Amino acid sequence: MGRGLVVELKKAFCNKVFYAVILIGIVAAIMAFFNSTAWGLSKYWLKYMVGDAVTVESALRSNYTDMPLEVWMPRYGTSNRYYYLWITILPILCVLPYGLSYYNEKRKGMINQLIYRMGRRQYFTIKLLVSFINGGCVAVIPMIVNLLMCMCFIPWGMPLLSTKLYPVVEGNVFDNIFYTRPFLYVCIYLGLMFILFGLINCLALFFVYFIDNAFALMITPFVLYFAEHVLFSLGFGRGELSLLNNSNLYNVFSINMLLTDDKKLYLPVFTDIEELAKWPIPGDMDTIELNFDSYSEIILDHTHDIEGLVINPFGKSYIISEEWLRELRTMKEERLKVKELKIPVNSKILLSEPEKFPTMLAEEITKCCDEIGTVNRAWLLEMTTEKDESWLLVVDFKGDKNIIFPEINYAAKNYLGMRYLDMISYDDEFAKKSVENHKAFYDKISL
C-alpha cells in the first residue's frame, strides 16, 4: 500500500492543475488582505514598529493589543468579495487537481490493471485517502497564507472578550478556547475546514457510478454544496446550519436594514432603548452596541448598497449619508492628530480666558500631567485666528515633546467639542508672552 500511496500522492500534488488551484487561492488570500481592514491595521502597526511617536504612544496607552485573528479573512464572510468568491467556488477547486482521477482511469481502461496490481480494497482506500488529503490542502493553504500575512504586520496576542473586536462571542463553538488558547482554536478551525472540503472532494469518486460526464462530475460537489446552502438559508430559514455560512466558524450576524420608498437602503441607529422600542421587531431579536468607528467601518470599508445611517428612524430621525459619514471620519482623524502650534508671519490672533472654562477637559489634562510627572505648569486659553477657533495649551515641561504632547492629546480627545487642541512649549517666546497675565490651571511648582 505504501508504494501505491506514494504514486497517487505524486499524481495529486505534483501536477500543474494543483499548482494553478493553489495559486488562485493564494491570490484570493492576498486580495482579501488588502481589501479588508487588515491592511489599515497593518499600516498602524508598521508605524509602531518604525517608532512613530504618536502611534507608539497610542499603542502603549491602549488596554489591549490587536492580533491577526481580528482581521483574518474568514471573519469577513460575504463582506469580503475575494474571500467569499473563493469559498463559494472552493468545491470546484478541490475537485480539479485529483478528484477526477478515478473517472479518467476508468474511462481509459487503466482501472482494471491498477486493481489487479494492488487489489480492489487497497485501490479504493488509497483513492479516497488521497482525494481527502488533496481537497483539504486546497482549502487550508490559502487561509494559512493569509494568516501568515496578518502575522507579519500584527503582533500575536491574547484576544480579549471585553474589547468586542472579535466575532466570537459567548455561546459560539469553542468560544472558551478562542479567548484562552487562540493558536489551538486556529488549529481546530483549519482542521474542520480540512475535513469538510476533504470529504466534499471524495464525493466526486462516489458519483462516478451515476454520472458519465467529466464536467458534470466536476461541478457535482459544488451543486450539492450550494444547494444545501440555499435549502437551509432560504427554504428552512436556518442559514446558521449552512456549510457555506459555517465555513467561517466565526459568529456571523446579519443586520436589519431599512428600505425607503425610493428603494434606498439605510442602516438604522438608535440612541436609546426607548427609540428602539418604536421599531416593531420580534422581542427575542438580539441588539448590539456599536460606536462611531464601527458604523463607519460597516458603511465605508465594505462593498454594499447601503446609502448611509438613519438615526432614530421611527422618531425624530436624521440621515447621515455615506459622503457625510466619510467626511465626519476624516474630521475625527484630523482632530485626533497631535497639533503643535506654528504661528504664520503677520497672522492675526486673539487670545483670551475661556468664557466658559472647560472643566472636564482641564481635569483630564491634569490627570495626564500627573501621570507624566515631568510637566510643571499648563495654561489653557481660547485662541481665535482668521480661520477658526481652538484651544491653546501652553505646557511647561521637561522631556521629549514628541512623547508628552501625544499623551496629552490622547487624554483630551473626547473633551474637545468642535475645536482643535493646539499645543506649544512654554520655552517659546510667543508662549511666554501669551500667558503673562493668565493663571496656570495646572501648577505643580506651587504645589
Q: What is the pLDDT of residues 313-367, one digit of tens each?
A: 888 888 888 888 888 877 766 655 545 445 555 667 788 888 888 888 899 899 9
3-class secondary structure, 439: coil
Q: Residue 249: its pLDDT value, please?
A: 45
Count of CB atoms situated within 10 Å of the CB of 418: 9
Taking every pair of C-alpha atoms in the chain, what is the biggest distance, in angstroms? Answer: 104
Say if residue 67's pLDDT is above 90: no
Q: Note the pLDDT of residue 394.
A: 92
Cell, residue 97: 487537481
- Please state, for a pLDDT cut of 70, what percent of the chain lies above it: 78
Record the pTM: 0.57
244 has a pLDDT exceeding 70: no
Across 12-21, 69-78, 224-233, the highest mean pLDDT is recorded for 12-21
pLDDT band at 145 (very low <50, low <70, confident <90, very high): very high
For residue 380, the model assigns a pLDDT of 92
C-alpha cell belonging to residue 439: 493663571
Q: Are 265 and 259 in contact (CB under 8 A)?
A: yes
Q: How far apart are CA 244 and CA 88, in angstroms?
A: 7
- 300 close to 325: Cβ distance less than 8 angstroms: yes
Tens digit of each residue's pLDDT (9 = 90 or more) over 301-316: 655 667 888 888 888 8
Give the residue, 352 or 142, on which the prediction is more confident.
142
Q: What is the pLDDT of residues 195-214, one digit of tens each?
A: 989 988 888 877 776 777 77
Burial call 89-99: b when 16+ CB within 10 Å, e when fewer:
bbbbbbbbbbb
The mean per-residue pLDDT over the stretch 4-33 comes to 90
Q: What distance in Å separates the CA atoms of residue 302 and residue 36, rounded to the nearest whole number?
A: 8
3-state SS record for 69-114? HHCCHHHHHHHCHHHHHHHHHHHHHHHHHHCCHHHHHHHHCCHHHH
- Residue 252 confidence class, pLDDT cut points 50, 70, 90: very low
State the pLDDT confidence band at 21, using cuts at 50, 70 and 90: very high
